[in-house]
Amino acid sequence: MSTGFVDQIFVRLKVWIMHFLPPGHDLIASFVSALLNISGVLIVFLTLFAAMSVLERKILGRMQNRYGPNRVGPFGLLQPVADGIKMLIKEDIVPARADKVVHFLAPIIIAAVAMLTLGIIPYGRNMTPLSIDGGILFFFAIGSTTELAVFMAGWGSNNKFSMLGAMRAIAQMVSYELPLIITTLPVVMIVGSLSPDQIVAAQSKYWFVFTPWGLAAFLLFFTSGLVESNRTPFDVPEGESEIVAGHMTEYSGFKYATFFLAEYFGMFAISGLAVTLFLGGWHAPLSILRFVPSYIWFFGKLSILLFVFVWARGTLPRTRVDQVMNFAWKFMLPMAFTCVVSAAVWHYAGRGFFAWIWSLVIIAGVYMTLSILLDTKKKFAPRVYRFAE
Amino acid sequence: MINIAFFIIAALTLGSALAAATNPKLMHAALSFAIAFVGVSTLFFWLGAEFVGLVQIFVYIGAVAVLIVFTILLTRREGEQLRGFNWSGVVVALAVFAGLVWSILKSPSMSILPPEVSPLTVKRIGEVLMSDYVWPLMGVGVLLTVALLGALILAMEDKRE
């Protein structure tokens, strides 16, 4: 019984706070309930953002054989405080020819969108801030608004680097939104619902990542997620050596920090959705481990995915624009469709051992065919410079 | 309370639509148009049509608004220039509005209370799409594929030269 109490402690806390309200006012009750959910999500993820910003630099330092931040506080753990103060007291520069209103609104919209997408993810048993029927659809519908915000940032700055960065960002976000959405389709098909709560409930026996289509879809989804959050192997929109900082070039001080926050929140949201769709949400991997509270499992899985984000940033070089786009349309999209077909075969073959084999055969066959077709047969040779010599 | 929510949504939608029609800066007009789309989708949410509201955001803000701003960006090489206000458009708009109001007021269903509808869930929409409306769905699919192929052919490099 005590384990159940720890598991539901935040839910009980909310019920306890709600019972102080005067009875009979449904409007006030729903307003306070929404406010409590929102503040819970914001407190947790702002803390995670602060922790992530220092941990990322620590891990990157470790990978690059250096210390990373270690001056502020014990082990450099108070670095986010110093960063926050620095960002707040920096001068806010707005270019003279910029479109003031659009320039001001872009970071606000981009951060608001990133926070909204966090709302539909089930963080634990009975712990979904916004439980709606079409949760997955909500995530992608709200997420698609980011493109307009990025465009506003690029256009409002009235700067060529900003505009080029925004164009690159939008091009790759639109291209990778397709595989991202199509790889969620097999999960939605198998569960028969667009609600994240029901998707998690359907994974109580086994996680979808342990089926062939689930594993393939998870890898494709995670790669698309890397692109959607403009993180390092795919950060061409802000490639420093080419276009300064992309659409964020003309932002300084707290507005820049807001973009930074939105990038991290987007990363949390996409990792959280990956956990929900493929890694069993808040379920424990084994039934003996059920005594550990559900939210600890969720945030454990989330932190592993976040570590992979940092790991990719520390080890992979930046891809070229044409490579990113070709990869999306020639490889990711056909593979995403294959996952849908494979999941359907798995379902109709009875979800057993043979279904597993058939599903694997389809995925492997398409993968082999694609790799033969897309092989450019280029041999490695000394690099020839066309313009630089 | 419900009326207050409706009036806020309506004021937002109409205000931004008016701004889209009258704003001399083309890009601001396009962005106001996007806000009007948000207002319309909020209206759908308020009416309980969650799915339609989400699709409204998805299609109109994620795709149509981005398409509009890109069209403006890629076609106008000169700087911002003032547009004259086109009064003939007002006449057309008023005529359309009058026609709509007239047909709504004339229709006999105004006096009958609407039948109780069960809430529209995503599951029901899926079932209806896959049973009653499967041929229109197929038709739209083929149409979109043709449009995609056409765009590809337009953008394709000509290898023969």
Domain that holds residue A204: 2-373
Contacts of B51 in chain A (CB under 8 A): 133-134, 137
Between chains, do A27 and B1 touch, taking CB under 8 Å as contact? yes
B72: contact with A, CB 8 A cutoff: no
Q: Say yes or no to pLDDT of B114 above 70.
A: no
Contacts of A155 in chain B (CB under 8 A): 27, 69, 73
Mean pLDDT of A348-376: 85
As a whole number, the mean pLDDT across chain B is 81
CA distances (Å), origin A84, targets A48, A88, A267: 14, 6, 20
CATH number at residue B66: 1.20.120.1200
Domain that holds residue B1: 1-78
Between chains, do B1 and A137 touch, taking CB under 8 Å as contact? no
Between chains, do A193 and B34 touch, taking CB under 8 Å as contact? no
Q: Say yes or no to pLDDT of B143 above 90.
A: yes
- Domain total for chain B? 2
Q: For B62, which of A102, A144, A163 is closest by C-beta distance?
A: A144
Residue spans of beta strands (DSSP E) within chain A? none
Distance CA A76, CA A360 (A): 47
Q: Are residues B13 and B64 in the same domain?
A: yes
Q: Write down the ipTM of this complex.
A: 0.74
Give the A-side interface with B, CB within 8 Å.
27, 99, 101-102, 132-134, 137-138, 140-142, 144-145, 147-148, 151-152, 155, 163, 170, 174, 192-194
Position B160 scores a pLDDT of 63
Mean pLDDT of A162-176: 86
Domain-embedded: residue A239: yes
As a whole number, the mean pLDDT across chain A is 84
DSSP result, B123-150: HHHHHHHHHTTHHHHHHHHHHHHHHHHH
pLDDT confidence bin for B98, thresholds 50/70/90: very high
Position B4 scores a pLDDT of 83
B49: contact with A, CB 8 A cutoff: no
Domain-embedded: residue A211: yes
Phi, psi of A69 (to 5 degrees): -65, 125
Domain-embedded: residue B86: no
Q: Which residue is closest to A146 within chain B, CA to CA?
A: B62
Domain-embedded: residue A304: yes
Roughly how many angstroms between the first and final C-alpha of chain B, as a whole number? Answer: 68
Q: For B31, which of A102, A163, A174 is closest by C-beta distance?
A: A102
Distance CA A262, CA A254 (A): 12
Cβ–Cβ < 8 Å for A294, A125: yes
CA dihedral A262, A265, A271, A275 (to 10 degrees): -150
Q: Which of A264, A171, A270 is nearest to A223 (CA)?
A: A270
Q: Say yes or no to pLDDT of B1 above 60.
A: no
Position B51 scores a pLDDT of 81
pLDDT digits (tens, 9 = 90+) for A264-320: 998 999 999 999 988 888 888 877 777 778 888 888 999 999 999 899 888 888 888
Domain-embedded: residue B58: yes
Position A1 scores a pLDDT of 40
Domain-embedded: residue B97: no
Q: Which residue is closest to A102 within chain B, CA to CA?
A: B28
Q: Which residue is closest to A136 within chain B, CA to CA?
A: B54
pLDDT digits (tens, 9 = 90+) for A251-261: 888 888 888 88
Which residue of B25, B61, B118, B122 is the best one to mutate when testing the A interface, meaning the one whose CB has the most A CBs within 10 A?
Answer: B122
Greater model confidence, B120 or A54: A54
Domain-embedded: residue A62: yes
Q: For A132, which of B50, B57, B73 is closest by C-beta distance?
A: B50
- Domain total for chain A? 1
Domain-embedded: residue B4: yes
Between chains, do A155 and B27 touch, taking CB under 8 Å as contact? yes
Domain-embedded: residue B59: yes
The verdict on pTM exceeding 0.90 is no
pLDDT confidence bin for A2, thresholds 50/70/90: very low
Q: Say yes or no to pLDDT of B80 above 60.
A: no
Q: For B50, which of A102, A134, A148 is closest by C-beta distance?
A: A134
Domain-embedded: residue A317: yes
**Reduced to 3 states, what is the DSSP secondary structure of residue B1?**
coil
Position A357 scores a pLDDT of 86
Q: Which residue is closest to A188 within chain B, CA to CA?
A: B123
Q: Are residues B74 and B3 in the same domain?
A: yes
Q: Which of A198, A203, A146, A214 is nearest to A177 (CA)?
A: A146
Domain-embedded: residue B65: yes
Q: Say yes or no to pLDDT of A71 above 70.
A: yes
Share of chain B above pLDDT 90, in %: 15
pLDDT digits (tens, 9 = 90+) for A88-127: 888 888 888 888 888 888 899 998 988 888 888 888 887 8
pLDDT confidence bin for B95, thresholds 50/70/90: very high
Q: Say yes or no to pLDDT of B156 above 80.
A: no
Task: Provide the H-helix boundaries in B23-121.
Answer: 26-46, 50-56, 66-75, 87-106
Domain-embedded: residue A378: no
Cβ–Cβ < 8 Å for A227, A234: yes
Domain-embedded: residue A385: no
Position A271 scores a pLDDT of 92
Domain-embedded: residue A380: no
- Rounded to a whole number of angstroms, the distance from the CA of A145 to the nearest CA of chain B is 5
Write out residues 109-128 of B within 8 Å (CB-CB) of A.
121-123
Q: Which residue is closest to B28 within chain A, CA to CA?
A: A102
Domain-embedded: residue B83: no
**Reduced to 3 states, what is the DSSP secondary structure of residue A250?**
coil
